[in-house]
Structure 1
Amino acid sequence: MSEDPAQQYRPVKNTEGVCTVCDEAHPLTNRHSQPAVTNRHGVTHKRFLLRVHGPRNNRCPGSHTEPKPWLEASGLPAWDAMTDLDRGAALMHVHKRRREGASYAREHYPVRYSDHPLLIILVAEDIRTACRHAAIVAGNVADGLTDDEYGRLYDLALDYKPGKPISKES
């Protein structure tokens, strides 16, 4: 019926990007020393692009282009595909990241996903990637939430205990 969640996930290193054409992971070029520039056609050149890849006489058209976004390339769920409990867990971690710093939050307040099977596996196997996922998914959304919605999701994750049923009162 359904696929194994672990087969949907593809680890993508920080130094790699996934090509939009061939769908393979390739190293990124390091263009930190060059500032982002807008050319006469209005195209802004980004700092990290995919390296040239493919056979010598038949290069992939995705060479020297921007890679897929990390969330799409890794196959992890976006904000819309997560349950309220997992959204709250991501918000809790992002809240601590903003207050205490990324490394401190990752070490002392790691994200605790509890509903999505792929995220549960990710937390058990690679907490750094799980925390990166929380920062990417909830980092952009957190500022757009109303205070009531933010508080509801945060409190839901804060009060959650494994094995305890979730109340639908709020």
Structure 2
Amino acid sequence: MFKSLTLLASTLFASSIVVAPASATSPAQVMGDLPRGSAENIADFRRQADALYRLKEEAFVKEDADTIVDRFYARDAITFGPEGKPTIGRDAFRKEYQAVVKVGTVKVEPVTTHVGTDAAWEWVNFRVFPKDKAQKPFTFIMLFLFAKQDGQWVSGGDAYTVGEFPKGS
């Protein structure tokens, strides 16, 4: 299986060199900043994302997996952590969150944000405070992806690993 995947990757790479247009970006070309949304759109994202984060935090306090799954994430959202195993869709999210919300409470702290016209991403420190006082609090570095649907921002998923952005990042 691995040999066939390697062969496929090599073939695709070789064919992309042959058919790449002359105007294709060379690796040495420096790219500029990502396009940004209007100031109004950025402010709208901040307001809605903060409300979604508070909703998620309150749902953890209440051990309410359904609110997180149905109101924070899109139906086809995807998440994965350091093990690389994706969780896809609300049914799978619900199964995981039903266990996760019982672990403790959380605090979401935005660190770096990019907002476009109808898509955004945000790096956060996702702090977990276990209910079991024998366990120490810990933090995930998370990347939330958002899309704007009918004027509402919704998370299309996230990726996470244990770690923490330093203050002032």
TM range (shorter): under 0.3
With normalisation by structure 1, the TM-score equals 0.26
With normalisation by structure 2, the TM-score equals 0.26
- Which structure dedicates a bigger proportion of its chain to helix? 1
- Which structure dedicates a bigger proportion of its chain to strand? 2
